Amino acid sequence: MIDTPVIVDTKAQHAAVIHLRIPRARIQAEMGPAMHEVMTTVASMGITPTGPMFSHHARMDPDTFDFEVGVPVAAPITATGRVKPGTLPALRIARTVYHGGFEGLGAAWGEFNSWVKTNGHSMADNLWESYVRGPESGPDASTWQTELNRPISF
């Protein structure tokens, strides 16, 4: 389900983002359109993303998702509508790649979080997913890849 996790020190990345604070039940209705809006806005600025789309969750609450959807870019953007300049911060993280459809992400995060704890790391409240390969790459969900990133400390 997930690749063997690794510990990585990331570099800060500029991003174009939309911040959402929505009830958990609204995630499917809100996230896709927001991602489309980010990509359309960035393209209208003549900017090419420097990496895959992501969702960066500020904290995990069972009832409310407080997060940003975005895409990394080479330099800060100018705010346009809901799309604002953002950053993925420089952090020490645990990282893995989940292979499969989005419906399996909950179990993948459970397996990943268990690995983090078992290996003696403390987890921060925030996390992010980068959507390396998804539905745009074809209908076979077994080929989809989602990178799971969890800030840690020893």
| Residue of 48, 44, 127, 115 lying closest to 83 (CA atoms) | 44
Give the model confidence (pLDDT) of 53-84 as tens digits. Answer: 999 999 778 899 999 999 999 999 999 999 99
pLDDT of residue 28: 87
Amino acid at the residue 144: W
Give the model confidence (pLDDT) of 87-114 as tens digits. Answer: 999 999 999 999 999 999 999 999 999 9
Distance CA 25, CA 44 (A): 31
pLDDT of residue 154: 64
pLDDT of residue 61: 81
For residues 25-48, give the mean pLDDT: 96
Contacts of 32 (CB under 8 A, 6+ apart): none
What's the pLDDT band for 36 if we cut at 50, 70, 90? Answer: very high
For residues 120-125, give the mean pLDDT: 93
Distance CA 144, CA 20 (A): 24
Fold assignment, 6-153: Multidrug-efflux Transporter 1 Regulator Bmrr; Chain A (3.20.80)
pLDDT of residue 142: 94
**Domain range summary for the chain, segments of one domain joined by +:** 6-153
For residues 1-17, give the mean pLDDT: 97
pLDDT of residue 60: 73
pLDDT of residue 1: 86
pLDDT of residue 59: 77
Cα dihedral sign for 97, 64, 58, 47? positive
Which CA distances in Å does 61 have to 56, 79, 117, 125, 127?
Answer: 14, 28, 19, 10, 12
Contacts of 31 (CB under 8 A, 6+ apart): 20, 55, 69
| Residue of 115, 5, 24 lying closest to 66 (CA atoms) | 24
Amino acid at the residue 95: R
Give yes or no for a contact between 53 and 39, defined as CB atoms under 8 angstroms apart: yes
Contacts of 114 (CB under 8 A, 6+ apart): none
Average model confidence (pLDDT) for the chain? 95
pLDDT of residue 153: 83
Distance CA 37, CA 41 (A): 6
